[in-house]
Amino acid sequence: MTAHIYDLVIIGGGSAALSAGVYAGRAMMDTLIIEKDKIGGQVTTTSEIVNYPGFRATTGPHLMKEMHDQAQDFGVTFVTDEITDVTLEGEVKTLKGNKETYQARAVLIATGASARKIGFPGEIEFTGRGIAYCSTCDGEFFTDMDIFVLGGGYAAAEEAVYLTRYGKSVTMIIREPDFTCAQMTADQAKNNPKIKIVYNTEVKEVTGDDMLKKAVFVNNVTGETTTFEASEEDGGFGMFVFAGNKPSTEIFEGKIELARGGYIETDELMQTSVPGVYAAGDLRVKELRQIVTAVADGAIAATVAQKYVATEKERLGLPVVTKKMTPQAPKSATTTAPAQAAPTASTTNEWFPAAMKEQLKGIFAKLTKPVTLVNILDQSQPKSLELEAFLKEITALSDLISLESVLAGSDAAFEESVHLTRLPAAVLLDENKQYTGIKFSGVPSGHEVNSLVLAIYNVGSEGQPIEADLVARIQKLPATKIEICVSLSCHYCPDVVAACQRIASINHQVEAEMIDTALFPELKKEKKLMSVPAMIINDEQVIFGAKTLTEIIEAIEG
């Protein structure tokens, strides 16, 4: 256990947590934000935001990155860990994580909520095979196919409009007699000529083989059933579920007062039933769950927590302010920040803006060993040439990173040694010029920049810290091929790619290949991929969804 006692520990990394971090940091509180997965929370899956004051139009990932950077500017510390148990009574609260145990005088619970599954027959079985929960990540898989959207709230209405850019038809299935969101949001869907809306209707069941092929709907007023079957030409269809959220509050049961459904009861000051413990965001009992209300919750909670901590310190005879700082200029991005998509090649033929190059230089300054990127170049293939230009800009940022190009078909032995099966492709070699098992099939731009940066860092230095027992398990893994199919617009994919490639960086018998699924439709068709991230292990097992390092190790171990 760390002997350090923080003023405030915030559990969660979404908009409520980041807002609280800004206010707490600005009040010079010694503040730690603990997020188990990815900074930004559910907002990072939102394709377009047009109702957040001050931003006429933005995306979830961009808004969350701005909030993350702003909190860092005020000295807030971030760690990646999962809290598994808490002791909240007493003047010092204790939070037990998978990596470490933390102590604080005040705690803010901002763990948010996760997409709620409806539970109709076939929902679980066809997740990744037609059932989806993130339009930004998976929408493109249903291009020119029929798409159903389940739900009548904010998310359903907004994402149905977004999905019209992909589907040949979009049908909203709403169990209520009307939308449950604001009229203006509902009208965007109602007035869209590409969207059909069916009220008082629910899914009775979905069926298929290796893809979603059939859905049975029931009118909950008349009892009448209707059936939809995919056309023979399409071979399947999509069904996006936006049925509300389930609060992520399981570990707080019995520790604070919870309301029906697991939501947390608070007063208007965000105070829970335990002194010094606050809650903010979508997990609270409240009328409206939107980014703007989550941000307000976080600001109030941090302000009230600051007063509580100051009073406690005065009572104990401790210095009220222990952290000295002044607002700083924006800091360089770290590997814990949300991915900021790299732009595509511009008219100046540069992939990265100057500010991003400086951020990457700061990360690559930590390299201690040489890393070689090898591009297998097909000069007749535009994407292969794009990959070459992309990697040239990366290698120019550090003397320890070099680029070699091998013309496709010119070195059969090398291609065999790196198990080349598709182009464009690039691989990483270690300081001994040995293949690490890390491969990129496609240009790792967009959110996958994080994957490439981490791959270089893990091969060219001691790498990201991993518990000793996990390292031992990784070293014992058998020869394994993992193909991680991604979309460059997916915010969850880079974490899975990075985890698989971290395994490969330790055990070169494991090959971890990032594949831009959009470039290889034949793979999508062969493996019936309708969602990302998707891991294909040894050409057989397909695993959909975000997975932790431990879960991936367990999947390889069998």
Look at strands 510-516 and 435-441 and give their pairing: parallel
Q: What is the DSSP string of 177-195?
A: SS-SS-HHHHHHHHT-TTE
CATH superfamily, region 131-243? FAD/NAD(P)-binding domain (3.50.50.60)
Nearest alpha carbon to residue 140 among 518, 448, 495, 492: 518
Q: What percent of the chain has pLDDT over 70?
A: 93
Q: What is the mean pLDDT of residues 395-418?
A: 95
Q: Choose among 108, 445, 460, 140: nearest CA to 301.
A: 108
- Between 56 and 249, residue with greater pLDDT: 249
Q: What is the pLDDT of residues 64-116, one digit of tens each?
A: 888 999 999 999 999 988 999 999 999 999 999 988 999 999 999 999 887 78
The residue ranking higher by pLDDT, 17 or 336, is 17
Whether residue 247 is predicted with pLDDT greater than 80 in this model: the reply is: yes
CB 147 within 8 A of CB 171: yes
Per-residue pLDDT for 6 more than 60? yes
Task: Map out the domains of the chain as residue ranges.
Answer: 5-114+246-316, 131-243, 354-557
Question: Mean pLDDT over residues 394-411, rounded?
Answer: 95
Cβ atoms within 10 Å of 381's Cβ, excluding its own: 14
From the list 394, 390, 423, 393, the residue with the least C-alpha distance to 406 is 423
The DSSP call for residue 339 is P
| Residue 341 predicted with pLDDT over 60 | no
Burial of residue 548 (CB within 10 Å: 0-12, 13-18, 19+) is middle
Q: Which residues contact 249 (CB under 8 A, 6 or more apart)?
A: 109, 111, 258, 262, 263, 264, 283
Neighbours of 244 (CB within 10 A): 17
Higher pLDDT: 225 or 133? It is 225
Binning the chain into helix, strand and coil, the percentages to the nearest 5 are: 30, 25, 45
pLDDT of residue 117: 85
CA distances (Å), origin 220, targets 174, 176, 186, 202, 223 = 10, 9, 21, 7, 5
Asked if 264 contacts 256 with a C-beta cutoff of 8 angstroms, the reply is yes
Residues taking part in catalysis: 134, 137-138
Backbone angles phi, psi at 162, to 5 degrees: -60, -40
**Which stretches of 230-379 are assigned E, i.e. beta strand?**
238-241, 245-247, 277-279, 371-377
CA–CA gap between residue 446 and residue 444 (Å, rounded): 7
Same fold, 5-114+246-316 and 354-557: no
DSSP 8-state symbol, 403:
E
Residue in this structure with the two tokens 């230089």, named with its chain if needed: 361
Please state the pTM of the whole predicted model. 0.69
Cα 282 from chain centre: 18
Q: Beta 371-377 vs 201-208: how paired, if at all?
A: unpaired
Task: Of 434-438, 480-484, 545-549, give the lowest mean pLDDT range.
Answer: 545-549
Q: How far apart are CA 113 and CA 118, in angstroms?
A: 15
The Cα–Cα gap between 51 and 53 comes to 6
Strand, helix or coil at 61? helix
Provide CB contacts within 8 A for 89, sequence distance 6+. Answer: 274
Which pLDDT value is given to residue 406?
A: 94
> Which whole number is the average pLDDT over 453-462?
95
Q: What angle do CA 57, 62, 66 make, to 5 degrees?
A: 110
Is the predicted pLDDT of residue 41 greater than 80, yes or no? no
Rounded average pLDDT over 463-490 = 93
Q: Is the pLDDT of residue 331 over 70?
A: no
d(CA 100, CA 83): 9
**What integer pLDDT is reported at residue 329 of this predicted model?**
41
SS3 463: coil
Helix (H, G, I), strand (E, B) or coil at 262: helix
Higher pLDDT, 206 or 531: 206
Helix axes 468-475, 493-506, angle to 10 degrees: 70
Pick the CATH number of 5-114+246-316 from 3.50.50.60, 3.40.50.2000, 2.170.190.11, 3.30.70.580: 3.50.50.60
| pLDDT of the residue at 327 | 44
Two tokens at 72?
A: 């860092």
| Bridge partners for 482 per DSSP | 512, 537
Q: How is residue 357 annotated by DSSP?
A: H
Q: Count CB atoms within 10 A of the CB of residue 412.
A: 9
Helix (H, G, I), strand (E, B) or coil at 489: coil
Average pLDDT, the chain: 89
* pLDDT at residue 473 tops 50: yes
pLDDT mean over 272-289: 90
Is it the case that residue 307 has pLDDT exceeding 90? yes
φ, ψ (nearest 5 deg) of residue 428:
-105, 135
Any idea which of 67-76, 131-140, 173-182, 405-414 has the lowest mean pLDDT? 131-140
**Residue bearing the bigger pLDDT, 70 or 338:** 70
- Please report which helix (H) or strand (E) contains residue 108, including its range: strand 101-109
Fold for 354-557, please state it: Glutaredoxin (3.40.30)
Distance, CA of 182 to chain centre: 27
Q: What is the pLDDT of residue 326?
A: 46
Give the span between the Cα atoms of 281 and 4, in whole angstroms.
Answer: 27
Q: Please name the residues in contact with 283: beta carbons below 8 A apart, sequence gap of 6 or more.
A: 109, 110, 111, 112, 113, 247, 248, 249, 262, 263, 264
pLDDT at 45: 60
pLDDT greater at residue 348 or residue 226: 226
